Structure 1
Amino acid sequence: MTDQADDRVSRRRYQREQMARAEAETLLEQKSRQLFEANKQLSEQSSRLEQAVSERTAELSLALNRAEAASTARSRFVATMSHEIRTPLGGMLGMIDLLSIDEQDPEKKELLDYAKTAGLGLSRIVNDVLDFSKMEAGVFVFEEEHVDIRALVESIRILAASSTNGKDRPITTKVDASVPKLFLGDATRIRQVISNLTNNALRYSLDGPIILKAKASPHPKGALLRVEVEDFGVGIAQEQIGNLFKDFSQIANSLTAAAQGTGLGLAICKRIMEGCGGEIGVESAVGSGSTFWFELPVEIVEQTTQLASHSAMQPEAAMDTILQGKRVLIAEDNIINQKLLLTYAKRMELVPELAENGRIALERFSPDDFDLVLMDVAMPEMDGLEATRRIREKWAGRDMPPILILTAHVMDAIETEAKLVGVDVVLSKPIPYDDLKHALQIAIAGSTHQSVAPSNDPVAAPETDDDLSGLSDDANKHDAFLGLMSPVSADELVSMFGMDELIDFARKYVVDSSDRLVQIETALVNEDWRQMSEQAHSIKGASLVFGFADIPGWAEFIEKAKPAQDLETVRRYIENIRERLSRITATL
C-alpha cells in the first residue's frame, strides 16, 4: 500500500512538473515572441528615425547651401550695384564739373550748381545704402594699417571747406599733443566716420564754426583715441537721442528735409565703430548745438627712423651750404617723382644723376662718384631695398655715402628690412621740400664719406615723348586746378615750379597715370596681380605729390587688392581715377 501511494504521489508530482514546465515554456515562448516583436518594432522605429534624421539633415544641408548661395548672390549684387551705380554717377558729376568750368552764363552756371548739389545728394544716399547693404551681407571688411590722424583730419577739413555747405563756414581742427603720431587702425573707415559727422554738422547747422577735435588717454591696448565733431546748430532733444543711431532713423527738425539724408549715416558710423572695437555717442541740447564723438582703443606705432615733423625742423644757418655741389644718385621710376626730385635737387644746388630703376642704380653707383643716394623702394626690375643690399655687398669694406630710401608705405616691415640692408634713413612720400632738404643735410653732416672730384655740371630733367604743348593762360582754369590740390601741396609746387611749369608737370602726370591705368586694366585681364599692384603704387605716389584728394586712396586699394574678393571694387576705382584725371585735364 505504501509503495502504491508513493507511486501516485510521484506520478502527480511528475505531472505537475510537466504541466509547470509546459506553462513555463509557453510563457517563455510568449515572452520571446513579445520581445521579438518589440525588437522588430524598435528596429523599424530606429530605421524610420534614421531616415527622418537623414532627410532632415539633407533638408538642413539644402537650406544651408541655399543660404550660402543667397549670401553669395547678395554680395555679388552689392558689388555689382556699387559699380553700376557709382560709375555713371561719378561720370555725371564729372561732366557737370567740366561744363561748369567753361560756362560763363551766370544763369546756366547756377543751374549746373543745382544739378551738382542734387548729384552729390544722390551720391551720398547711394553710398549709404550700399554700405548698409554690405554690412547686412557681411562683406564690410575692416583693414589694419598705419593711421596719421593729423593728416586725416586735415584732409577732411580741406574737403569739407570746399564743399557747397562748407563755403564761408569756419572749420577748425584741434589735435592734442597726447594723440600718437601713428597708430594701427582702418584709416578708410575712420575717415568715413569723421567725414560723416563733419558733413552732418554742416548740414544741420546754418552758421557758426565746426570744430574737429582729437585727444588720447592711456589704455591697456596703447591709447584711447577720442575724436569730437562740434557744431552750434539746431541741437537734439534728449528724448530723441536714443533714435539717432537706429537704421533709417531721422530726427525731425527744420533742417532734416533740406539735408536729403537716408537716416543711415549714423547707423553706419555706429556699426563701423563697433566693428573696430570702439563706441560712438553724442552730447546735445536743443538750440545749443551738438558734439558727436567716438572713442577707439588703438595700438601705438613706434617711429624709430621716421623724420621729425616739418614744424619741428629748424636747420641751422651753418648747414645752408652743406649740400652745394654734392652729387646725389636718385633712383626713381615714376616720371612725376623724377621731375619733382630733380627739381628739388637743382634748388638745393645738388648735382643729381637719375637711375630709372634699382638695376640701373646698381650699375651706375660707385662710392667715388656720389655723396648721397636717394632710393625709391617700389621700382620695376629691382626694388630699392634689393639694390641697396647688392650695393653694400659689391662695395663691402669701402667708405659708403649715406643711403636714404623713399616709400609711399608707412610700415614697420619696410623699416625693419631697410635696417637689415643698410639703409640710413627711411623717408615717407610725399615728402615736403624742406623736410627732404633737412634730412639730406643731416645725412651729409654725419657722413665721413668724400666722393672724388664732384662735378658741377647740372643734369637736366628727363624728356618725354609726350606732346604737352599748348598750356592754357586761363587764370580761372588755373585756380580750378589748384583747387583740386591740397593747399599745402599747391603752395609748395607753385613756389617750386611756377604756374606754367606746374601745369606742364601736371599734364605729364595725367599722361603717365592714364598709361598706367591701361596697364592696370591689362594686368587685371591677364590676372597679373603684381603688375597691377606696381602700377597702382606708382599712381598713388605721384598723386600724393600733387595732394589730389581720393586718387591716392583708390590707387592704394588697387595696389593691395585681393583678387578673389575685390575685382568689382578695383574696376570701380579704375573708373573713378580715370574720371578724376579727366576732371584734372579740364582745368589745364
Structure 2
Amino acid sequence: MSRDGDPASRAAGPVSRARFERERRARHEAEALLETYSRQVYEGNQRLHLQAEMLEETVRQRTMDLEAARIEADAANQAKSIFLAHMSHEIRTPMNGVLGMAEELRETGLTPAQQDILSVIIESGDLLLSVISDVLDLSKIEAGQVTLEHLPCNLAEIVASAKRLFGPKAAAKGLAFQVPDMAALWVDSDPTRLRQIVGNLLSNAIKFTDRGVVSMRLDYRPGAVADLPGELQIVVEDSGIGMTPEQLSRLFTPYMQADASIARTHGGSGLGLAIARQFCRIMGGDLTAESIPGRGSHFRARVSALLTNERPAARSQVSLERDLAERLKTGGLDVLAAEDNQTNQLVLVSMLRRLGLSARLVETGTALVEAWRAQQPDLILMDVQMPGMCGIEATRAIRRAEAEGGLPRTPIIALSANAMTHHLDEYLACGMDASVPKPIRRAALVEAMLAVLPARPCDGGGAGNGSATGGMPDG
C-alpha cells in the first residue's frame, strides 16, 4: 500500500498544520506583545529622561536662586554693618562732647543739687551708649566677630559691683534687693562679658518688677579634674509680672519683647537677654528662663570658667593718674593731637589740662604728618576719621618715614568713635599702639598713655626714645 494510503500519514498532515498555525499565531502575538512592551519601556525611558532633565533644570535654577539669595543676604549684612558702624560713629562723636564735658564739670566745685543734675545727665548718656553697644554686640555675634578675653576675674568683685550699680535702682522702686556677699574666688574668664550678662539679667528683673524682691546669686562648681574648667552659674529671680509660655518662647529673639505692650510700658530695645544668651553660649554655657504670669521669673546663666591663682594689679583712676604723673615728673610730655571736631578738641584739651599736660592741635592727617616731621613729639593722639588724609593713612606715613629714616617710634593712640572689631584690628595693623573709644573717659586715656609710653630714664630723657606697644581694647 502506498504512503498516501497510510492512515497514519493522513492523520499526521492536518495535525502538524494546525500546530504550525497555532505556533505562528503565538509567535505573532508574542512579537506584538514584545513590541508593545518595548514601546512602553521606550516611552517610559523617554519620560524618565525628560523628568531627569526637568529635575536637573529645577535643581540648577534653585541653586542659582540660593546663590543669588546668599549674595543678597551677604550684601544686606554688609550694608547693615556699614550702617551700624556709621550710626555708632555719628552718635558717639557728639556724646563725646556731652559726657566728656559732664565729667570735667564734676570737678568744678558744684553744689550737691548741681551734682545730682549732672549725675542724671551722665547716667542718661551712659544709657544711650549702652543701647548702641548692645546693637554693635549683636552685630558682632551675627558676624562671628566676638573675641573673648581670658583674664583673672574675682567673682566676689562681680557681685559687689552688681550691688553698687543695681542696689540703688531696686531701692528707688521700693524693691528688696537680695544679693549675698561672696568670698573671693578667682576664675579665668572674660570679666567684661560676665558683667554684661549679670547687668542685663538684673536690669531686666528690676525693670519688670514693681513690688517684692529681686535676687541674685553666683555659684561655682569646679571641674571633675583640677585642670578642667568648671561651671559658673548666675541665678537671678524676681517677683515681677512674669510671662506666659508663648511670651517665654520668643524671649530671646533679638529686637523682640515678650509682648508688644512692654515696649510702650517699660521701654527697652529687646536686645539685652538675646545678647546675654549668645554670650553664655560663646562662653561654653547657656541661658534659660522659667516664668509664671503674675508671680515672677527665674533666669539661670551658665558659663564655663577655670579656677586660677593669678591676680591682676588693681588700679584706681587716682592711682593711674598718680602713676602717669610719676612717669612724667622728670620733664614735660610733648603731645601732638589730631582732631577735626571743635567740641572734641575742647574735651581733649580739658582732659589733658587736668593731667597737667598741653597739646599741639591739628585738624587733618596731612597737618599732623607735617607737624610730626617738623618736631617729633613724645606722643600722638590720633582721631581716625578726618577730612583728606585719615588717621590710618597718617599713621602709615609716619611709620614708613620712621623706618626709612631710622627714627625712634612715636607712640600713637587712636581716638575713635568706631567700636567694631574689624576697625580696631585695622588700627593695630596700620601701626597704632592703642585705642581709646569715644566718648573718651579720662581713666581710659591715662591707662592707654601708661601702656604706650616708655619709662622715663632718670636723667629726664624723652619719652619718644624707644618703642612701646599697648593693648587694643575690644569694642
TM band (smaller chain): 0.5 to 0.7
Tell me which residue corresponds to 2:221: 217
Deviation readout 1:513-549 (Å, 9 max, x if unpaired)? 62496997239989x9xxxxxx9x9859xx9xxxxxx
2:392 counterpart residue number: 521
- Alpha-carbon displacement from aligned partner over 1:389-446 (angstroms, at most 9, x marks no partner): xxxxxxxxxxxxxxxxxxxxxxxxxxxxxxxxxxxxxxxxxxxxxxxxxxxxxxxxxx
1:216 alignment partner AA: Y
1:182 paired residue number: 188
CA distances 1:149-199 after superposition (whole Å, capped 9, x unpaired): 32895599399749996999999986744744324xx55543322222344
Equivalent pairs counted in the alignment come to 382
**2:197 aligned with 1:193:** yes
Matches within 5 A, 1:18-37: 18-37=20-39
Q: Distance in 1 between matches of 2:153 and 2:201?
A: 15
Alignment of 1:100-139 (within 5 A): 100=102, 101=104, 122-128=128-134, 138-139=142-143
Alignment map for 1:473-484 (pairs within 5 Å): none
Identity of aligned residues (%): 14
- Give the deviation of 1:9 after TM superposition: 3.0
Q: How far off its partner does 1:236 sit?
A: 0.9
The two structures, once aligned, show a CA RMSD in angstroms of: 6.1
Q: Secondary structure of 1:225's match?
A: strand
| Letter in structure 1 aligned against 2:240 | I
Aligned to 1:262: 269
1:178 and 1:215 in contact (8 A); partners too: no
Q: How far apart are the structure 1 equivalents of 2:427 and 2:215?
A: 37
Give 1:263-342 correspondences, 5 Å limit.
263-276=270-283, 277-281=285-289, 293-300=299-306, 302-303=308-309, 306=310, 340=323
**Aligned position for 1:41:** 43
CA distance in structure 1 between the partners assigned to 2:185 and 2:234 by the alignment: 10
Inter-partner Cα distance in structure 1 for 2:314 and 2:148: 26
| TM-aligned CA distance change 1:98 to 1:217, over 3 Å | closer
Letter of the 2:63 counterpart: S
Scaled by the length of structure 2, what TM-score is found? 0.57
Assess, with a 3 A threshold, how the Cα gap between structure 1 residues 111 and 59 changes in structure 2: closer, same or farther. farther
Contact 2:156 2:181 in 1 (8 A): no
Superposed displacement of residue 13, structure 1: 3.5
One-letter amino acid matched to 1:217:
R
Given that residues 93 and 116 in structure 1 are in contact (C-alpha distance below 8 angstroms), is that contact kept between their aligned partners in structure 2? no
| 2:252 is equivalent to residue 249 of structure 1 | no
Q: Distance in 1 between matches of 2:336 and 2:427?
A: 37
Cα distance change, pair 40–214 in 1 and its aligned pair in 2 (3 A): same
User: Are 2:13 and 1:11 equivalent residues in the alignment?
Assistant: yes
| Aligned equivalent of 2:335, options 441, 466, 472 | 466
Residues 561, 257 of structure 1: alpha-carbon distance in 2 compared, 3 angstrom cutoff: same
Paired residues of 1:154 and 1:173 also in contact (CA < 8 A)? no
Instruction: Decide whether the 8 Å contact of 1:513 with 1:539 is kept in 2.
Output: yes
1:30 deviation in Å?
0.7
CA contact 2:381–2:412 (8 Å) conserved in 1? no
Equivalent residue letter for 1:148: P
Mapped to 2, the partners of 1:144 and 1:557 lie a distance apart of 15
User: Hey, what does 2:440 align to over in structure 1?
Assistant: 580
The structure 2 residue matched to 1:79, chosen from 75, 81, 84, is: 81
In the superposition, relative to structure 1, how do residues 239 and 64 fare at CA in structure 2: closer, same or farther (>3 Å)? closer
Structure 2 contact 179–215 (Cα < 8 Å) conserved: yes
Q: Is the 8 A contact 2:154 2:184 kept in 1?
A: no
Superposition deviation, residue 29 in structure 1: 2.0
Question: CA contact under 8 A between 1:131 and 1:268: conserved in structure 2?
Answer: yes
1:66 deviates by 2.7
Find the counterpart in structure 1 of residue 69 from structure 2: 67
TM superposition shift of 1:46: 1.8
One-letter amino acid of the structure 1 residue matched with residue 231 of structure 2: L
Q: CA deviation at 1:7?
A: 3.3
1:32 offset after TM fit, Å? 2.7
Task: Report if aligned partners of 1:236, 1:284 keep a CA contact under 8 Å in 2.
Answer: no
Q: Residues 155 and 182 of structure 2 are in contact (CA less than 8 Å); yes or no, is this contact kept in structure 1?
A: no
Deviations 1:541-574 (A, max 9, x none): xx9xxxxxx99x96987666799xx99xxxxx97
Q: Report the Cα offset of residue 61 of structure 1.
A: 0.7
Which blocks of at least 5 consecutive residues in structure 2 are unaligned?
A: 338-346, 362-376, 400-408, 446-475
Offset of residue 47 of structure 1:
0.9
Give the alignment of 1:436-515 within 5 angstroms.
461=330, 464-466=333-335, 502-504=355-357, 512=379, 514-515=381-382
Cα distance in 1 for residues equivalent to 2:380 and 2:213: 38
**Cα 1:178/1:167, change in 2 over 3 Å:** closer
**In 1, Cα distance between equivalents of 2:9 and 2:151:** 114
Q: CA deviation at 1:147?
A: 4.0
CA distance in 2, matches of 1:141, 1:127: 14
**Structure 1 Cα separation of the partners of residues 184 and 441 of structure 2:** 38
Please report the TM-score for the alignment, with normalisation by the length of structure 1: 0.48
CA distance in 1, matches of 2:126, 2:427: 30
Q: Which residue of 2 aligns with 1:379?
A: none
- For residue 54 of structure 1, report the CA deviation from its aligned partner: 0.3
C-alpha contact 2:156 2:184 (8 A) present in aligned 1: no
State which of 76, 90, 93 in structure 2 corresponds to 1:91: 93
Instruction: Measure, in 2, the Cα distance between the counterparts of 1:308 and 1:39.
Output: 81
User: What secondary structure sits across from 2:304 in the alignment?
Assistant: strand
Q: Give the secondary structure class of the aligned counterpart of 1:580.
A: coil
Is 1:146 aligned to 2:150, yes or no? yes
Q: CA deviation at 1:55?
A: 1.4
What letter matches 1:3 in structure 2? Answer: R
Per the alignment, residue 352 of structure 1 pairs with none
Mapped partners of 1:211, 1:513: distance in 2: 47
Distance across 2 between alignment mates of 1:513 and 1:198: 40
Measured in 2, the distance between the counterparts of 1:84 and 1:308 equals 35
Measured against aligned partners, the alpha-carbon deviations of 1:331-390 in whole angstroms (never above 9, x if no partner) come to xxxxxx9x959947x9xxxxxxxxxxxxxxxxxxxxxxxxxxxxxxxxxxxxxxxxxxxx
Q: 1:132 to 1:122 in 2, by over 3 A?
A: same
Q: Which letter maps to 1:279?
A: L
Q: Secondary structure at the match of 1:3?
A: coil
Take 1:506 and 1:214, find their aligned partners in 2: how far apart are those partners? Answer: 47
Tell me how far 1:512 sits from its aligned partner. 3.3
State the distance in 2 between where 1:584 and 1:143 align: 20
Where does residue 485 of structure 1 map in the other structure?
none
Distance 1:291 1:522 in 2: 52
The answer to whether the 8 Å contact 2:216/2:237 transfers is yes
